Each structure stands twice: as C-alpha cells, then as structure tokens.
C-alpha cells in the first residue's frame, strides 16, 4: 500500500502555497511550478507530473513570447498564461489532497480544530471536482459516439452547439450529484453534533515532517534568493 502524506500536512502546505504565490514574481512562479511537479513525483503521480512539465514548458514559452511580440491578440492570451503559472502550483497540490478519502480527511482535519461548517464545505468541494471530471469524461464519450464532440474537427465550426451538448448534460448531472452527496453525508451522520469517531488513524510520520521542511525551505529559497 502506497504511503501518503498526512491530510493535515497536505492541507497546511496547500494554504501556505496559496498565500505565497500571491506575492511571487513570474520567474518565481515558474520555480514554484517546478516545486509542485516535484511534489507530484514524491507522491508517485508520474504521468500527471510529465503532463504538468510539458504544460509548464509550453505556457512559459508562450508567456515570454507574448511579452516581446507586437501582436495585441497574443499579448491578451499572455494574461491567461500568467494565470496558469500563478495558480498551477495550487492546483497540483490540491489534486493530491482531493484523492484522500473523505472519512480520512475529516478525521485528520478535525485535529486542527477547524470549524465543522468550514471542514464539511472543504471536504465536499475537494471531492466534488473529481466527480465532475468523471461525469464530463462520460458525456464526452457519449457525444463522440453521436458525432457531437468538440474533439472532432467537423464540430469546430459550431462551437456553441458543441458547448451546449456538453454544458447542459453536465449541469443536469451536477444537480443530481449534489442531491446524492447530501444524502450520502446524512447517511454517514455528518450532522451529528459531537466529535466523530473514525476507522482512520492520523499520525504524523518522519516523512511528513521531512516533506514539510523541504517545501518550506524551497519556498524561502525561491522567494529570497536571487539566482
């Protein structure tokens, strides 16, 4: 069984990185993206790390090209590349946390004395996005079988229709998923006023402390050391 980082550590690292990137420059953001890719590798998400490396390289190259080009349209898209570089590290860190089972996440984060309402909102939100991605993949498969997928070149001339064929079913599924999540939470006794018991044991290990110190140290170096 793969050893995972304690959810408390993952949550604190996510909050820390979310604050740090707000004051980082573009050069520092590139290094933070590389730090996040290293975090993916540490958690053995090799395929996701490779995709992230390719995305960061392409986005970085396009961003710097948009700074020197005279085409205003490319400069406009350069703003979106800047947003990708700024929020990329947070998304990568959050993608690891969202894979933690909801029961284990609640059990661990309870020890941080997080208010119950905030804790439930956080857990449901992190679990919601992977479900939406799975639903979207299913919808895309169905649309492709019917020749309505945007991935098929013949539909590129009708982007609004392709968007409608994807967006409307996804919204209908989203409404149903929210009802299912609410029913599942009530079944598991989410509204119980006292402290919940759990089958999961939350203990900080030496590896948890090591990865925390490593991320903090690398962040300080990126922010304050001029290369």
Percent of the chain with pLDDT over 70: 88
Q: Looking at residues 192-219, what average pLDDT do you find?
A: 81
CA distance 141 to 110: 39
- Kindly state the tokens that stand for 69: 């080009």
Percent of the chain with pLDDT over 90: 18
Q: Give yes or no: residues 185 and 219 share one domain.
A: no
Residue 38 has a pLDDT of 92
Q: Give yes or no: residues 90 and 113 share one domain.
A: no
Residue 37 has a pLDDT of 93
Residue 187 has pLDDT above 90, yes or no: no
CA distance 152 to 144: 8
Q: Give yes or no: residues 65 and 175 share one domain.
A: no
Q: At what angle do helices 116-145 and 159-187 cross, to 10 degrees?
A: 140
Give pTM, 2 decimals: 0.75
Tens of pLDDT along 34-59? 999 999 999 889 999 999 999 999 99
pLDDT averaged over the chain?
81
In whole angstroms, how far apart are CA 210 and each of 203, 205, 213, 214, 217?
14, 9, 5, 6, 10
CB 56 within 8 A of CB 33: yes
Residue 32 has a pLDDT of 93
Q: Give yes or no: residues 108 and 151 share one domain.
A: yes
Q: Give yes or no: residues 125 and 115 share one domain.
A: yes
Q: Kindly tell me the sign of the dihedral angle through the C-alpha atoms of 129, 135, 138, 140.
A: negative
Q: Give yes or no: residues 94 and 122 share one domain.
A: no
Q: Give yes or no: residues 140 and 172 share one domain.
A: yes
Residue 188 has pLDDT above 70, yes or no: no
Tally of structural domains, the chain: 2
CB 85 within 8 A of CB 33: yes
Residue 190 has a pLDDT of 65
Lowest model confidence (mean pLDDT) among 63-77, 163-177, 186-200: 186-200
Residue 1 has a pLDDT of 42
Q: Give yes or no: residues 40 and 75 share one domain.
A: yes
Q: Give yes or no: residues 111 and 190 share one domain.
A: yes
Residue 2 has pLDDT above 60, yes or no: no
Q: Give yes or no: residues 160 and 194 share one domain.
A: yes
CB 224 within 8 A of CB 24: no
What length does the chain have? 227
Range of the domain at 23: 1-101+200-227
Q: How confident is the model at residue 122 (pLDDT cuts 50, 70, 90)?
A: confident
Q: Give yes or no: residues 195 and 205 share one domain.
A: no
Q: Give yes or no: residues 207 and 195 share one domain.
A: no
Closest CA to 224 of 23, 79, 47: 23
């Amino acid at each position: 069984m793969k050893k995972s980082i304690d959810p408390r550590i993952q949550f604190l690292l996510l909050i820390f990185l979310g604050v740090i990137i707000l004051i980082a420059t573009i050069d520092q953001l590139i290094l933070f993206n590389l730090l996040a890719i290293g975090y993916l590798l540490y958690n053995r998400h090799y395929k996701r790390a490779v995709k992230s490396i390719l995305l960061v390289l392409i986005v970085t190259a396009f961003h710097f090209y948009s700074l020197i080009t005279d085409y205003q349209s490319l400069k406009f898209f350069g703003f979106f590349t800047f947003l990708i570089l700024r929020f990329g590290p947070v998304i990568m860190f959050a993608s690891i946390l969202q894979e933690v089972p909801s029961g284990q996440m609640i059990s661990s984060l309870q020890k941080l004395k997080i208010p119950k309402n905030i804790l439930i909102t956080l857990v449901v939100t992190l679990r919601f996005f992977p479900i939406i991605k799975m639903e979207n993949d299913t919808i895309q498969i169905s649309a492709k079988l019917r020749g309505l997928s945007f991935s098929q070149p013949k539909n590129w001339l009708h982007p609004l229709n392709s968007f409608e064929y994807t967006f409307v079913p996804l919204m209908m599924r989203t409404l149903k998923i929210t009802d299912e999540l609410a029913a599942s939470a009530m079944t598991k006794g989410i509204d119980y006023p006292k402290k919940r018991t759990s089958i999961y044991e939350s203990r900080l290990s030496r590896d948890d402390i090591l990865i925390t110190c490593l991320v903090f140290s690398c962040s300080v170096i990126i922010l304050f050391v001029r290369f």
